[in-house]
Amino acid sequence: MCLILLSFKSNKEFPLIIGSNRDERHERPTADAGFWDDHPDLYAGRDLQDGGTWLGITTNGRISALTNYREPQPRRTDVRSRGTLVSDYLVGSLSGQDYLNSLAADALNYNPFNLIAGNLEELWYLSNRGSGVSPVTPGVHGLSNHLLDTPWPKVKLGCDTLNALDHCKDPDTIIETLLNTLADQRRAPITELPKTGVTLQLEKTLSPPFIMGDHYGTRNSMVVIVSASGEVFVHEKRFGPQARFAGETARAFKIR
């Protein structure tokens, strides 16, 4: 996943709002979002190659999400998949803070990542390119392929959308608005592009919220919102090469 937009305890009606895009190779096998057969309390999509996920929520309120951290160095093939960091937390029992603290010592044995883990009361953040475990403060946050709240154009656009929804009480409006933002394919101006060590052309290609390509691009857009009374609304849209629509799923359930 290359973009996470997060509103945490900012909207009183919906204290948790997440909008996310997962960018991945189109040939990588993936299961649609749903409850997992082997972990029936976990709702998430699933990477069928290595078994992990990029964003999930459980019926007891555990939440975790992941993005990669962009570096020009080749990806290591001798380490575990980063998606297992999300699924291991969601099916486990440690608090978000304890889980990330336990992971921190071993974090360099993964390819570069950003990880959020916690529940409806507290969220925590760790990057193995950052400075350790830190709390996610109440408010609006954005995370792409650099550290939390690095103001890349797609992050700023998404945070502006969330701030405009701060007093919205209609879940359908929140979902529709966030999905529209996640579908934005406009490339950022050259003067606003980050410098992550890749080519200028690649920086431009990767700059919008939604990435379109033949072999790599946005595979999944998902919105998760949780009401103050514990109602969960999830809407997933799926895409193939060149942004070809591949289906969608909407689901509602209750935190127990």
Cα 63 from Cα 86, distance rounded (Å)? 9
| Amino acid letter, residue 170 | D
Here the tokens at position 25 are 């190779």
Burial of 48 (0-12, 13-18, 19+ CB in 10 A): exposed
pLDDT, position 251: 98
pLDDT, position 171: 98
Q: Residue 232: beta bridge partners? A: 226, 253
Cβ atoms of 145 and 197 within 8 Å: the answer is: no
- Report which DSSP code applies to 241: G
Half-sphere exposure of 215 (CA within 13 A, CB side): 0
Here the tokens at position 107 are 């974090």
Cα 4 from Cα 145, distance rounded (Å)? 10
Q: Which of 20, 37, 76 is nearest to 238 (CA)?
A: 20
pLDDT (tens, 9 = 90+) of the chain, 256 residues, equals: 699 999 999 999 999 999 999 999 999 999 999 999 999 999 999 999 999 999 999 999 999 999 999 998 889 999 999 999 999 999 999 999 999 999 999 999 999 999 999 999 999 999 999 999 999 999 999 999 999 999 999 999 999 999 999 999 999 999 999 999 999 999 999 999 999 999 999 999 999 999 999 999 999 999 999 999 999 999 999 999 999 999 999 999 999 9
Cα 251 from Cα 240, distance rounded (Å)? 22
Cβ atoms of 218 and 239 within 8 Å: the answer is: yes
CA dihedral 174, 182, 235, 45 (to 10 degrees): -150
Cα 112 from Cα 132, distance rounded (Å)? 14
Half-sphere exposure of 146 (CA within 13 A, CB side): 15
pLDDT, position 1: 63
pLDDT, position 27: 98
Mapped onto helix, strand or coil, the DSSP state of residue 117 is strand
- pTM here is 0.97
Cβ atoms of 48 and 31 within 8 Å: the answer is: yes
State the CATH class of domain 3-254: alpha beta
